[in-house]
């Protein structure tokens, strides 16, 4: 049996801001943009009267990110996650030039937790960025 990751779903409040981040700043390509509603989506999410806009993006290796904006249900979470919160804490992206990527993201108002650092084994340069919706991204450039 072969198992692979199909996509990573990210629930967002500001879908346009997230779209600019993933598409325009990080270079992902939109391949689907749908408004989903009806019995199928209600059934699989176990929630009545669901309406969700899904935007699916892919990178150059067809790895996919799905941005989900639930128009029918609001996010009631008042506690933002951190890198230390149980569950999924971040997404790591391999980039070709970590310094240039960080500079572009900072110019667009995003913050890094530090300057890029060379890993102790000298195989990569790494930095964490706080993206839209307080999503933590680990940017990794292989040395």
Q: What is the pLDDT of residues 41-65, one digit of tens each?
A: 999 889 899 999 999 999 999 999 9
Question: Which pLDDT band, with edges at 50, 70 and 90, does 69 fall under?
Answer: very high
Do residues 56 and 36 touch, judged by C-beta distance below 8 A?
A: no
pLDDT value for 77 = 59
- Cα–Cα distance measured from residue 124 to residue 127, given in angstroms and rounded to the nearest whole number: 10
């Amino acid at each position: 049996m072969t198992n692979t990751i199909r996509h990573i779903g990210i629930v967002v409040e500001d879908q346009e801001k997230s779209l600019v981040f993933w598409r325009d700043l990080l270079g992902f390509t939109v391949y689907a943009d749908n408004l989903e509603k009806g019995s199928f989506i209600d059934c699989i999410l176990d929630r009545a009267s669901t309406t969700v806009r899904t935007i699916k993006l892919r990178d150059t290796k067809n790895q996919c990110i799905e941005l989900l904006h639930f128009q029918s249900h609001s996010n009631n979470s008042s506690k933002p996650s951190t890198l230390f919160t149980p569950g999924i804490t971040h997404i790591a992206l391999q980039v070709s030039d970590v310094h240039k990527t960080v500079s572009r993201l900072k110019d667009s108002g995003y913050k890094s937790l530090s300057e890029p650092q060379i890993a102790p084994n000298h195989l990569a340069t790494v930095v964490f960025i706080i993206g839209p919706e307080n999503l933590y991204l680990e940017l990794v450039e292989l040395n």
